[in-house]
Amino acid sequence: MTQIVVPVILSGGAGTRLWPISRETAPKPFMHVRGGTLLRRTFDRASRVRGCTHTLIVTNHAYAAKTHSELDSVGRGAFTLLLEPVARNTAPAVALAALYAARQFGEDAILLVLPADHLVEDAVAFAKAVDTAIDAATAGFLGLFGIEPTAPETGFGYMQVGSALEKSGARKVLRFVEKPDRATAESYLASGGYLWNSGMFCFSVRSVLEALRTHAPEIMQRAGVALDKCKPSEGAVTLDAESFAALPSISLDYAVIERASNVAAVACSIGWSDIGSWNAVAETIEVDQAGNASEGNATLIDSRNTYVRSTGRLVAAVGVQDLVIVETPDAVLVTHKGASQRVKAVVDDLKSKASPLATEHVTVERPWGTYTTLNESERFKIKRIEVKPGGRLSLQMHHHRSEHWVVVSGAAKVTCSDKEFLLSPNESTFIPVGARHRLENPGKLPLVMIEVQCGDYVGEDDIVRFDDQYGRVP
pLDDT of residue 472: 77
CATH code of the domain in which 382 resides: 2.60.120.10
Cα–Cα dist 165/318, whole Å: 55
Cα of first residue to Cα of last residue in the chain, in angstroms, is 46
CB atoms within 10 A of CB 47: 20
Could you tell me if 65 and 20 lie in one domain? yes
Could you tell me if 75 and 153 lie in one domain? yes
Give the mean pLDDT of 28-51.
91
Cα–Cα dist 127/45, whole Å: 9
pLDDT of residue 445: 96
Q: How far from 245 is each of 14, 114, 226, 355, 378, CA to CA, in Å?
A: 18, 23, 9, 26, 35
pLDDT of residue 153: 87
Grade residue 375 by pLDDT with cuts at 50, 70 and 90: very high
Please tell me what DSSP assigns to residue 254. I
Among 215, 247, 273, the domain boundary falls at: 273
Assign 3-class secondary structure to 242-253.
Answer: HHHHCCCCCCHH
Q: How far from 220 is each of 12, 97, 225, 226, 263, CA to CA, in Å?
A: 20, 11, 9, 10, 20
Please tell me what DSSP assigns to residue 3. P
Q: How far from 274 is each of 118, 176, 371, CA to CA, in Å?
A: 4, 19, 31
Domain that holds residue 380: 363-467
Could you tell me if 40 and 150 lie in one domain? yes
For 109-121, how does the pLDDT look when each residue is reduced to its tens digit (9 = 90+)?
999 999 999 999 9
32-38, long-range: CB within 8 Å, 24+ apart, which pairs? Answer: 33/119, 33/275, 33/281, 33/284, 34/119, 34/284, 37/70, 38/116, 38/117, 38/118, 38/119, 38/275
Could you tell me if 167 and 301 lie in one domain? no
Residue in 229, 208, 275, 219 with CA at minimum distance from that of residue 88: 219
Could you tell me if 157 and 76 lie in one domain? yes
Res 73 pLDDT > 90 = no
pLDDT of residue 65: 84
The SS3 assignment for 386 reads: strand
Residue 433 lies in a domain: yes
Residue 26 lies in a domain: yes
The SS3 assignment for 350 reads: helix
Could you tell me if 267 and 311 lie in one domain? no
Res 381 pLDDT > 60 = yes
- pTM of the full structure: 0.89
Cα–Cα dist 346/367, whole Å: 29
Could you tell me if 428 and 290 lie in one domain? no
Please tell me what DSSP assigns to residue 77. S
Number of domains in the chain: 3
Could you tell me if 194 and 61 lie in one domain? yes
Residue 347 lies in a domain: no
Phi-psi region of 426 (alpha: psi -120 to 50; beta: other; left: phi over 0): left
For 141-174, how does the pLDDT look when each residue is reduced to its tens digit (9 = 90+)?
999 999 999 989 888 999 999 988 877 789 999 9
* Angle made by CA atoms 347, 353, 357, in degrees to the nearest 5: 50
Cα–Cα dist 147/319, whole Å: 37
Residue 14 lies in a domain: yes
* In 342-413, alpha helices (H): 344-352
pLDDT of residue 300: 97
Among 290, 309, 342, the domain boundary falls at: 342
Could you tell me if 87 and 125 lie in one domain? yes
pLDDT of residue 270: 96
CB atoms within 10 A of CB 84: 25
Grade residue 74 by pLDDT with cuts at 50, 70 and 90: low
For 323-372, how does the pLDDT look when each residue is reduced to its tens digit (9 = 90+)?
999 999 999 999 999 899 899 999 999 999 999 899 989 998 888 999 99
Residue in 269, 180, 204, 218 with CA at minimum distance from that of residue 91: 218
Could you tell me if 389 and 419 lie in one domain? yes
Please tell me what DSSP assigns to residue 48. T
% pLDDT > 70, the chain: 98
Cα–Cα dist 376/171, whole Å: 59
The whole-angstrom distance between residue 425's C-alpha and the CA centroid of its chain comes to 37
Could you tell me if 212 and 333 lie in one domain? no
Could you tell me if 311 and 268 lie in one domain? no
Res 231 pLDDT > 90 = no
Residue in 474, 461, 312, 335 with CA at minimum distance from that of residue 398: 461
The full length of the chain comes to: 474
Instruction: Assess contact for 58 and 12: CB atoms under 8 A.
Output: yes
* Angle made by CA atoms 134, 255, 262, in degrees to the nearest 5: 40
Residue 351 lies in a domain: no
pLDDT of residue 316: 97
Torsion sign over Cα 169, 173, 174, 177: positive
Instruction: Assess contact for 142 and 207: CB atoms under 8 A.
Output: yes
DSSP H or E segment with residue 241:
helix 241-245
The SS3 assignment for 26 reads: strand
Assign 3-class secondary structure to 408-424.
Answer: EECCEEEEECCEEEEEC
